[in-house]
Structure 1
Amino acid sequence: MDAIVEPVQAKRSKWIVLVCVGIATFLSSLNSSLTSTILPTIERSLNTTTDQSEWLVLIYLLIMTVALIPIGRLSDHMGRRKLFLLGFVIFTGAAILCGFSDTFFSLLLGRALLALGGSILLSVGPAIITTTFSSEERGKALGFQALMTYIGLSLGPLIGGSIASLFGWQFTFFISVPFGAAGLILTLLVIKDGKDVNARAVDVHGMACFAVAMIAMTLLMNASSISSSHVMRPLLFAVMIAAFALFFHVEREAPFPMIPLRLFRIRNFGFGAAGAVFNYLCFYLVLFLIPYYFDVVLHSSAMRTGFIFSITPVIMTICSPIVGAMSDRFGSRVFSMTGMGFCVFSLILFGMMAKTSSAAAFALLILGLVCIGFGTGVFAAPNNSAIMGAAPKKDQGVASGVVATFRNIGMILGTTIGGSLFGYIQSRLSGGGFTEQETFLASFSVIMWIGAFFGAVGFLCAFHMEKKS
């Protein structure tokens, strides 16, 4: 009897592990889309500028980008259970800090800690799934994790907008607390500790150079929001160039590099990773800037903004698993090109909104939200499949980290273009006889056309991938 009960219990246990990892994934994606939706509300409440508000998104993405691969490697040495517990503790505590924040800097600190906790959860989660499930069930388990990502993205705008309108923006962060507590309890109960006895040495020098280079690059692109000194930009530029040069040198010499540069010689890997940067640049440009269009031009409440804006992630949720399965049969290239094509088309539609009547502009807005959701949903899964399929088996783990890192670089670039570059253009146009709304619309249109250009570059990257992958 005991011999029968034990396997059943083990089977139940692994699905509880999957739920625990799913909660971690859901929390990270929820907080990403939720915060972007309520940025205009936070800006008014804390009396900040758009350039400052941009850092509430950038700090999250920057820490994620710098920390994902190092934490993944660290978990192989320290043990995944300990780090996963730490991730839930940091994330939950950071959500409480954000909820009680009444100044910009305390909220910025909370967002930074959210990113650190989220980096741990996202880095360790796939490794826990891989060691818990057999190869026959691993695809199903990873598919569930991807579904939780899209559910979080879908619910973020709706939940964030609704709660901010009813109770205030601070309460939107408290949503994460019960989920974080549940994840912490499940981790204590069902996840076993695991280390990789054959784990490769950590590339400390490469990671340090990459971190300095990414921080310098992000600060350089947003220098106007942190200092008015004329010395700041040349200094940051010099640090960025030196750090990247040293990083490439270290990676060529390292026996176990953080990012194996040889992978980029593989056609689908190199062009696929570059395409991911431009795809997420387009998506995060829209994710950051469209809520301001709702606020400044349409004068929408946060609830209405969240409701309408949820169109995009819902379409992504529907499209991604269907197209992912179809790409196994027809190849990734055609879907990657189609996805990027729709992203470019959506940005063109957004760029046209400033030149049309209010009724036509609203129709273009809805169609654009549909197209960006469809384009990103069609692009993501086939492109990921092509990248991972091109990487050698021994490099699958690091390839996954590289893909996540390049996605985050695209997110940082999209947020920067939507924040700092938009603010710069708006400041140049202000005082020229335009009303505040006219200045906003003109700047908004220019940024969307710039985004469409970068989307076209992403389309060319997809075009140069192999037809079958």
Structure 2
Amino acid sequence: MKPTIALMDSAPAIPSVRWALASLALSMLLSALGTSIANVGLPTLAQVFHASFQNVQWIVLAYLLAITTLIVSVGRLGDLTGRRRLLLTGIGVFTLASALCGFAPTLELLIAARALQGLGAAIMMALTLAFVGETVTKEKTGSAMGLLGTMSAIGTAMGPSLGGMLISGFGWRMIFLITVPLGLLTWVLARRYLPADNQKPKTDRAGFDGLGTLLLALTLAAYALAMTVGRGSFGALNVALLGAAFLGVGLFIFTEGRVASPLIRMAMFRDPVLSASLAMSTLVATVMMATLVVGPFYLSHGLGLDAVLVGIVLSVGPFVAALTGVPAGRIADRVGARRMTLVGLLAMTAGCLTLAVLPETFGIGGYIAPMVVVTLGYALFQTANNTVVMANVQPEQRGVVSGLLNLSRNLGLITGASAMGAVFAFASATADITKARPEAVASGMRMTFAVALTLVLICIACATCRRTAPGSD
């Protein structure tokens, strides 16, 4: 009863909770902005540093790789050492790295600074979700998750447009320096308003699994590189990296079963709720990546839109996600997160089915309408799915579970960029997709979203099994 009284009956406590949520929301905004704002600057950076596109793309990859490889480990570290302390460190690292990016004199130093920025972002992404359970009551978890989802969508949506304006008005360095004052504000709010860590005696603290952390990081790095190097071609290097990733998975599972304090307890995956939620998160992220991979090609080559219109149409999805995140969280609190998960997946099913047939018949309107449905479904699913997991997880496991949720999403995005792109290219039956005929692009569109529809149907099966699992509501 005490947390409820503090939140509902004590007037001075309400602003503190709101400012604490503001610090978490800004943390999520910054980490998402760091992902999207750099992409628009790649052509400029290639000219400035006289580098090839293959080289400057590491400005983006270094950030994503750091997040993907470290997010579970930093979540677990927060569980062991204190989440507030580690989150403040992460915000500080992100802010410092942003300044280093802005003043980097060479491409190599810029890439290194971006990797450091990714470390800070990994800490922020993992611990913001974990902090929700310590900041609001269980009955308000969905609303808080919706707010964080909204800020993530806003950061993703505004990155390209904000980055373009900053580059044209102030130069490329400003796309990194703009996050420095925001990072300082976030650090001040987090330090002032986030709840203090519960100090445990040193004898009660579990040890940190250094070997497991290293194995997981190398495994995830190998998989991420296998899915991203080569820009669409899958050669011997990709096969070798993928083989190394599978070997790493086996070594990691073997190691975790034998250490005293494992990074991830394999018994966690016996929980059907957690396992189904992670699997669905990966599959849904794979589907959403298809819209980002296929959408630009279909709009430009299939419907013949110019670059300005393509950008406007592609911004519809993130805009819808930004508008629906908070309402989705409130609905999840009222009607039940598990039920809203299924509703979101059904909406995505309808959207994917429509995307496979409508655009060719109804043109741009036939693309936008189902995209709105897909994105609305994704916003409902993401908020509800995160709520189901984080509302019931044990306090000492919040960091690592939050890391796993973020990791499952990142792996889905990485897999989707490669796998769904390959499906699109195969179905278009064209070696160079930029020179494909409109009919070939439309064919690729239909096949890609037919595959996406299959993935969403698998998610519905997982959600149904999760609802009928023992102990589920």
Same fold (TM over 0.5): yes
Partner letter of residue 375 of structure 1?
A: G
SS of structure 2 residue aligned to 1:464: helix
Distance 1:42 1:428 in 2: 32
- Please state whether the residue corresponding to 2:264 is helix, strand or coil: coil
Matching residue of 1:455: 456
- SS where residue 206 of structure 2 aligns? coil
**Structure 1 residues 15 and 336, CA, compared in 2 at 3 Å: closer, same or farther?**
closer
Q: 2:325 touches 2:380 (CA, 8 Å); kept in 1? A: yes
> Equivalent pairs: percent with the same residue?
22
Hey, what does 1:298 align to over in structure 2?
A: 305
Aligned equivalents of 1:62 and 1:275: distance in 2?
Answer: 22
- Compared CA separation, residues 34 and 152, structure 1 to 2 (3 A): farther
Task: Quickly say closer, same or farther: Cα 1:24–1:106, change in 2 above 3 A.
Answer: same
What is the deviation of 1:117?
1.2
* Partner amino acid, structure 1, of 2:305: L
Does residue 470 of structure 2 align to residue 464 of structure 1?
no
Hey, what's the Cα distance between the residues in 2 that align with 1:363 and 1:315? 16
1:240-268: CA deviations, max 9, x gaps?
A: 22211111122233343322222322222
Displacement, 1:276?
1.3
Tell me the TM-score normalized by structure 1. 0.78
Is the CA contact (8 Å cut-off) linking 1:68 and 1:123 kept in structure 2? yes
- The equivalent residue for 1:405 is 407
Give 1:56 deviation, angstroms.
Answer: 5.6
Cα separation, 2, equivalents of 1:177 and 1:223: 31
1:176 aligned partner: 179
Aligned amino acid, residue 452 of structure 2: G
Matched residue, 1:147 = 147
Q: 1:121 to 1:384 in 2, by over 3 A?
A: closer
Shift of the 101–340 alpha-carbon distance from structure 1 to 2, 3 Å rule, reads farther
Matched, 1:276 2:281: yes
Number of aligned positions between the proteins: 451
RMSD: 4.2
Find the partner of 2:226 among 217, 220, 226.
Answer: 220
Q: Is the partner of 1:386 in helix, strand or coil?
A: helix
Aligned pair in 2 of structure 1 residues 396, 195: CA closer, same or farther (>3 Å)? closer
Q: How does 1:34-113 map to 2 (within 5 A)?
A: 34=37, 38=40, 58-76=61-79, 78=81, 80=83, 82-96=85-99, 98=101, 108-113=111-116
SS in 1 for 2:307: coil
Partners of 1:161 and 1:305 within 8 A in 2: no
TM, length-normalised to structure 2: 0.77
**Structure 2 match to 1:244:** 249
| Contact kept? 1:23, 1:183, Cα under 8 Å | yes
Q: Distance in 2 between matches of 1:270 and 1:312?
A: 28
Native 8 Å contact 1:26 1:149 kept in 2: no
Write the letter of the residue equivalent to 1:463: T
- Deviation, 1:271, is 1.7
- Using the TM superposition, give the Cα deviation of residue 306 of structure 1 relative to its aligned residue in structure 2, in angstroms: 5.1
CA deviation string 1:424-466 (max 9, x = no partner)? 6499613699647666555455433333332232222223221
How far apart, in 2, do the equivalents of 1:364 and 1:39 lie?
31
Residue segments in structure 2 that go unaligned for 5+ positions in a row: 1-9
Q: Which runs of 5+ in 1 are unaligned?
A: 1-6
Deviation of 1:403 after TM superposition, in Å, equals 2.2
Tell me, yes or no, if the aligned pair for 1:214 and 1:240 is still in contact at 8 Å: yes
Q: Which residue of 2 aligns with 1:258?
A: 263
Kept in 2, the 8 Å contact 1:18–1:141? The answer is no
1:179 deviates by 0.6
Counterparts of 1:375 and 1:200, CA distance in 2: 40
**How far apart, in 1, do the equivalents of 2:345 and 2:196 lie?**
41
Q: Are 2:314 and 1:309 equivalent residues in the alignment?
A: yes
Cα gap change, 1:78 to 1:151, in 2 (>3 Å):
closer
Aligned equivalent of 2:122, options 119, 122, 125: 119
